[in-house]
Amino acid sequence: MPYQEIKLYQAGTFVAGNRLLDPDQRSVQARMERSNTLTSGHRACQGCGEALGARYVLDAAMRAADGELIATNATGCLEVFSTPYPESSWQLAWIHSLFGNAPAVATGVAAALKARGRDDVRVIGQGGDGGTLDIGFACLSGMFERNDDVLFVCYDNEAYMNTGVQRSGATPPAARTANTKPVGGTAGNEFGKGKNAPLIAMAHEIPYVATATVAELRDLEAKVERAMEMRGARYIHVFVPCPLGWGSASRDTIRIARLVKETGIFPVFEAEDGQVTSVSKIRRRVPVEEYLKLQRRYAHLFGDPPQTEVIARIQERADRNIRNFGLLAGADEGGDLPGSAADVAGDTPGQDDPSRTAEQETNLMRLMASSPHGPQ
Amino acid sequence: MLRQEEGSRAVAESVALCRPKVISAYPISPQTHIVEHLSDLVRTTDLSPCEYLMVESEFAAMSAAIGASAAGARTYTATASQGLLYMAEALYNASGLGLPIVMTIANRAIGAPINIWNDHSDSMSQRDSGWIQLYAESNQEALDMHIQAFRIAERLSLPVMVCMDGFILTHAYDEVDIPDQKAVDDFLPPFEPRQVLDPAEPVTIGAMVGPEAFFEVKYLAHAKQMQALDVIPEVAQRFAIDFGRPSGGLLREYRTEGAETIIVALGSVLGSIEDVIDEMRQAGIQVGALGIKSFRPFPLEEVREALTGASRVVVLEKALAVGRGGIVSTDVHEALHGTHIRCNTVIAGLGGRSITRDSLHGLLERAGRDELEPLSFLDLKTELVEHELERAHRGTPSGPHEQNILNEIGVVAARPH
């Protein structure tokens, strides 16, 4: 009888089901004792990537902290859909103060716990992309540079969804938002603008930076667990599709989150102390159109005639990520992860370069210079 | 213990005696000496356990204070001027959440034009932020008020600002009596928060509130400030018993008995005013002063009672409500509603302009002759203003006001007045 090896990605989800795993390796969500930190009954939209991401992040963090966890939250969808007074979906000690200060509030909570001798209680801060990398960026950077004992999680849905889908510093090029409409001859949000928060986080040389998507939730949990093993400032940037803001079908949230990684548009990686330590390889490379076509925010690119030049520029950016982060399977044998020693050596692998240490310092800068406007 | 000490340092030591567990601060003149000394005390572990956070802005200073206070720590910060404005959003949040943070304001003007000298524009701009505002007359009172402030704040679960005049008090060396630790510990019990972020009993703090309940939550902040009208004098009374000196409270009357004219003011200028009153009283002129110690809550009834009997009141203010005039005087007017007491507003001392005894003499004499306009500006160089208005009136681009005025008076930097 002919035998064909079944690869996991052929199951469609690319993710190993829990029943294939040893019980110890099962996801936090699959456990009876999961804390349901963000419990049911909240008012998030169908298919909300942020609600899904927050649920996984917080349950994993709660498990890692043995329930001793306090969360601070920026203003935004997550805060609004979870707390209309007096109904709260939060089953942990939780505080919302302002839009732009969640990292600083977390700093204060951590300081109070330390002074009170309660180092066993851990602190997590969370916000959307606007609250994290626009209005909250000074507080975030301050928390990073002081290496305060806080894990901050950004749920990035690439625009200000709570106020009606306006552009943020995380909005990708060509995306339509309420104030980057493809009108007057423009093609949505401009190229050459925006910022790459994970790389900027790495530039602070904090203990841990990771990116993740809600397509690979076990990976997200593992990153939260890894972050919770450490002390000091840690940052996880989670890609969370927004059906409402992106004009995508609720059922496509996971598919879109998978495609953003498989296209190379959003590199999924981990970094410690400012150096990339691992990347999630692309399992089956796909052209960016497959990702873009599922979202009406890009519909203007596929009109008659289609804006092939714009699509090509998006593809170029994805290809650059693939090169810079070594995202294609097999590339890891070369050891040329961004930030790795081999990568630093650049075009002269194996040579004993006396300037190597200095180059190592600038590796991140080079990475940022080659990808200055976000993973998108 | 009696010591010759800088105001900032005295306040820092007083704050340390209150055993704060978290201090977060960002440098701004003239507040810096206070937090620098507290930083020393934390680094030497003289103040322990305490975490000193060197945050990246005043907005972060107040935000970290919010987190620390909500997590059950007695929390302190200090700021001034632009810094207070930069944390304005967080100020309203701290009071709305009912967090008993204590903050020193080293009162300083607000730009533009940028100016580091003293007036009350900063704290007055946050009049309605929901914070209790106490104004110290002297360094002794400033350090005493901080000890009282923690007690008031924690009793009511409301934040308190202790306002002290920048440079005039913060940088002045004066004799102060710094209490010992035991006396402060007896006066100020350990912080027992009304609400705390505790994993054992998780609460949601800062939930969204709609029209069905927002009004009530906001009213509670007002109700608590009304309670403060009782708590502030109670705490001051207890302080006087424990420490043997009067300090704080709602008001302080100075020679108001039989006074025809009473001048109302806040902060350190009361010292000069009292000297002038002594001189005028000696000359047989019936004048007195009313110092407002608690501006928020505003003690309407007590002010009215203190001013009854005077035939005229002069409110001397170190802040200007542009387009209107006085800020404190609006409240004093209300306190005098229904009486026949004349009330004049005098704006003085903006941006550090000296309020001299001569000027105060002249002011009170004009007041006594009923020659004061309802709103006047003490020692304003009106000619300069008129010239600049003329320049602007000519319609051609006239350049920055501050440059024109400095050109005209022939200096490129401030000088003594």
For residue A195, give the amino acid letter.
K
Cβ of residue A109 closer than 8 Å to a chain B Cβ: yes
CA distance B351 to B360: 18
State the ipTM, two decimals. 0.95
Instruction: Indicate if the pLDDT at residue A358 is higher than 80.
Output: no
Instruction: Indicate if the pLDDT at residue B329 is higher than 80.
Output: yes
CA distance B393 to B399: 12
Q: Is the CB of B202 less than 8 angstroms away from the CB of A92?
A: yes
Q: Is the CB of B197 less than 8 angstroms away from the CB of A94?
A: yes
Q: Is the dihedral of CA B202, B203, B206, B207 positive or negative?
A: positive
Residues of B in contact with A104 (CB under 8 A): 55, 59-60, 63-64, 67
Query: Which pLDDT value is given to residue A345?
Result: 38
Chain B nearest-CA residue for A124 = B67
Q: Give pLDDT tens digits for B267-280.
A: 999 999 999 999 99
Pairing status of strand B173-177 against strand B2-6: antiparallel
DSSP assignment of A63-125 equals HHTTT-EEEEE-SSHHHHHH--TT---B-SEEEE--SS-HHHHHHHHHHHHHHTT-TTSEEEE
Q: What angle, rounded to 10 degrees, do the helices at B139-156 and B7-17 form?
A: 30
Number of Cβ within 10 Å of residue B11's Cβ equals 32
Using CB atoms within 10 Å of the CB of residue B79, give its burial: 0 to 12 exposed, 13 to 18 middle, 19+ buried: buried
Angle B62-A136-A364 from CA coordinates, rounded to 5°: 125
CA distance B81 to B175: 27
Instruction: Indicate if the pLDDT at residue B39 is higher than 50.
Output: yes
Min Cα separation B411/chain A (Å): 38
Cβ of residue A119 closer than 8 Å to a chain B Cβ: no
CA distance A231 to A153: 15
Q: Give pLDDT tens digits for B108-129.
A: 999 999 999 999 999 999 999 9
Q: Which residue has the higher pLDDT, B15 or A83?
A: B15
Mean pLDDT for A189-215 is: 97
Are the C-beta atoms of B289 and B371 separated by less than 8 Å?
A: no
Cβ of residue A43 closer than 8 Å to a chain B Cβ: no
Q: Which token pair is A106?
A: 């977390």
Q: How confident is the model at residue A369 (pLDDT cuts 50, 70, 90)?
A: low
User: Helices in chain A by DSSP H: which ranges?
Assistant: 49-64, 77-82, 102-115, 129-133, 137-145, 197-203, 217-228, 243-246, 253-262, 288-292, 308-325, 341-345, 356-370
Q: What angle, rounded to 10 degrees, do the helices at B58-70 and A102-115 form?
A: 50
Q: Is the CB of A115 less than 8 angstroms away from the CB of B50?
A: yes
Mean pLDDT for A272-301 is: 97
Q: How confident is the model at residue A3 (pLDDT cuts 50, 70, 90)?
A: low
Residues of B in contact with A119 (CB under 8 A): none
Q: Which token pair is A170?
A: 């995380």
Best A35, A70, A91, A105 member to test B by mutation, with max B CBs in 10 Å, is A105
Q: Is the CB of A138 less than 8 angstroms away from the CB of B60?
A: yes
For residue A206, give the amino acid letter.
I
Query: What is the share, in percent, of chain B residues with pLDDT greater than 90?
Result: 92
Q: Of A294, A47, A309, whose CA–CA distance to A174 is shortest?
A: A309
Cβ of residue A142 closer than 8 Å to a chain B Cβ: yes
Cβ of residue A121 closer than 8 Å to a chain B Cβ: yes
Q: Is the CB of A115 less than 8 angstroms away from the CB of B21?
A: yes
Average pLDDT, chain B: 96
Mean pLDDT for A171-195 is: 96
CA distance B346 to B314: 7
Cβ of residue A69 closer than 8 Å to a chain B Cβ: yes
Min Cα separation A78/chain B (Å): 11
Q: How confident is the model at residue A87 (pLDDT cuts 50, 70, 90)?
A: confident
Query: Which pLDDT value is given to residue B240?
Result: 98
Residues of B in contact with A113 (CB under 8 A): 71
Instruction: Indicate if the pLDDT at residue A349 is higher than 90.
Output: no
Mean pLDDT for A184-211 is: 96
Q: How confident is the model at residue A372 (pLDDT cuts 50, 70, 90)?
A: very low
Residues of B in contact with A162 (CB under 8 A): none
What are the residues whose beta carbons fall under 8 Å from the beta carbon of A179, sequence distance 6 or more?
A166, A167
CA distance B355 to B337: 29
Query: Which pLDDT value is given to residue B7?
Result: 98
Cβ of residue A139 closer than 8 Å to a chain B Cβ: yes
Query: Which pLDDT value is given to residue B204?
Result: 95
Q: Which token pair is A41?
A: 């009954």
Q: Is the dihedral of CA B9, B15, B17, B21 positive or negative?
A: negative
Are the C-beta atoms of A218 and A21 separated by less than 8 Å?
A: no
Q: Is the dihedral of CA A280, A373, A161, A209 positive or negative?
A: positive
Q: Which token pair is B200?
A: 């054992």
Q: Is the CB of B63 less than 8 angstroms away from the CB of A141?
A: no
Peptide bond preceding A241 in cis form (omega within 30 of 0): no
Which of A243-252, A349-358, B152-161 shows the lowest mean pLDDT across its residues?
Answer: A349-358
Query: Which pLDDT value is given to residue A19?
Result: 65
Query: Which pLDDT value is given to residue A352?
Result: 43
Rounded alpha-carbon distances, angstroms, from residue A273 to A240, A333, B283 = 25, 23, 75
Cβ of residue A147 closer than 8 Å to a chain B Cβ: no
- In this complex, the residue of B54, B64, B206 whose CB is nearest that of residue A95 is B206
Instruction: Indicate if the pLDDT at residue A365 is higher than 70.
Output: no
- Contacts from A277-281 at CB under 8 Å and sequence distance 24+? A277/A337, A277/A339, A278/A337, A279/A325, A279/A326, A279/A327, A279/A332, A279/A337, A279/A338, A280/A216, A280/A219, A280/A327, A281/A327, A281/A328, A281/A329, A281/A330, A281/A331, A281/A332
Q: Is the CB of A108 less than 8 angstroms away from the CB of B204?
A: no
Q: How confident is the model at residue A160 (pLDDT cuts 50, 70, 90)?
A: very high
Q: How confident is the model at residue B407 (pLDDT cuts 50, 70, 90)?
A: confident
Q: Is the CB of B203 less than 8 angstroms away from the CB of A116?
A: no
Q: Give pLDDT tens digits for B198-224.
A: 999 999 999 999 899 999 999 999 999
Q: Of B42, B96, B32, B105, whose CA–CA distance to B69 is shortest?
A: B96
Q: Is the CB of A112 less than 8 angstroms away from the CB of B68?
A: yes
CA distance B11 to B33: 10
pTM of the predicted model as reported, rounded to 2 decimal places: 0.92
Query: Strand, coil or helix: what is B272?
Result: helix
Query: Which pLDDT value is given to residue A17?
Result: 59
Best A72, A95, A119 member to test B by mutation, with max B CBs in 10 Å, is A95
Q: Give pLDDT tens digits for B356-397.
A: 999 999 999 999 999 999 999 999 999 999 999 998 888 777
Q: Which token pair is A316?
A: 């170029």
Are the C-beta atoms of A258 and A248 separated by less than 8 Å?
A: no
For B134, phi and psi rounded to 5 degrees? -110, 140
Instruction: Indicate if the pLDDT at residue B5 is higher than 70.
Output: yes
Q: Is the CB of A93 less than 8 angstroms away from the CB of B90?
A: no
Q: Of A286, A315, A298, A188, whose CA–CA distance to A241 is shortest?
A: A298
CA distance B68 to A321: 40
Pairing status of strand B75-79 against strand B22-25: parallel
Chain B nearest-CA residue for A69 = B199
Q: What angle, rounded to 10 degrees, do the helices at A49-64 and A217-228 form?
A: 40
Cβ of residue B54 closer than 8 Å to a chain A Cβ: yes
For residue B18, give the amino acid letter.
C
Q: How confident is the model at residue A330 (pLDDT cuts 50, 70, 90)?
A: low
- In this complex, the residue of A80, A84, A105 whose CB is nearest that of residue B64 is A105
Q: How confident is the model at residue A333 (pLDDT cuts 50, 70, 90)?
A: very low
Instruction: Indicate if the pLDDT at residue A343 is higher than 70.
Output: no
Best A109, A135, A143, A146 member to test B by mutation, with max B CBs in 10 Å, is A109
Query: Which pLDDT value is given to residue A344?
Result: 37
Among residues 203-262 of chain A, which lie with CB inside 8 Å of chain B? none
Q: Is the CB of B68 less than 8 angstroms away from the CB of A142?
A: no
Beta strands across the sheet bearing A275-279? A275-279, A269-272, A208-213, A234-239, A151-156, A122-128, A69-73, A93-96, B204-205
Cβ of residue B64 closer than 8 Å to a chain A Cβ: yes
- In this complex, the residue of B54, B73, B197 whose CB is nearest that of residue A115 is B73
Residues of B in contact with A100 (CB under 8 A): 59, 89
Min Cα separation A191/chain B (Å): 31
Angle A77-A81-A84 from CA coordinates, rounded to 5°: 125
Are the C-beta atoms of B367 and B312 separated by less than 8 Å?
A: yes
Cβ of residue A117 closer than 8 Å to a chain B Cβ: yes
Q: Which residue has the higher pLDDT, A375 or B46?
A: B46
Angle A82-A65-B25 from CA coordinates, rounded to 5°: 75
Query: Which pLDDT value is given to residue A350?
Result: 39
Q: Is the CB of B60 less than 8 angstroms away from the CB of A104?
A: yes
Instruction: Indicate if the pLDDT at residue A129 is higher than 80.
Output: yes
Query: Which pLDDT value is given to residue A364?
Result: 56
Are the C-beta atoms of B107 and B164 separated by less than 8 Å?
A: yes
Q: Give pLDDT tens digits for A11-22.
A: 445 455 566 667
Angle A337-A271-A344 from CA coordinates, rounded to 5°: 35
Using CB atoms within 10 Å of the CB of residue A283, give its burial: 0 to 12 exposed, 13 to 18 middle, 19+ buried: middle
CA distance B229 to B236: 11
Query: What is the share, in percent, of chain A residues with pLDDT greater than 70?
Result: 82
Cβ of residue A84 closer than 8 Å to a chain B Cβ: yes
Instruction: Indicate if the pLDDT at residue A356 is higher than 50.
Output: no
Q: Which token pair is B252?
A: 């302080």
Mean pLDDT for A104-126 is: 98
Query: Which pLDDT value is given to residue B266?
Result: 98
Q: Of B133, B149, B142, B147, whose CA–CA distance to B170 is shortest?
A: B142
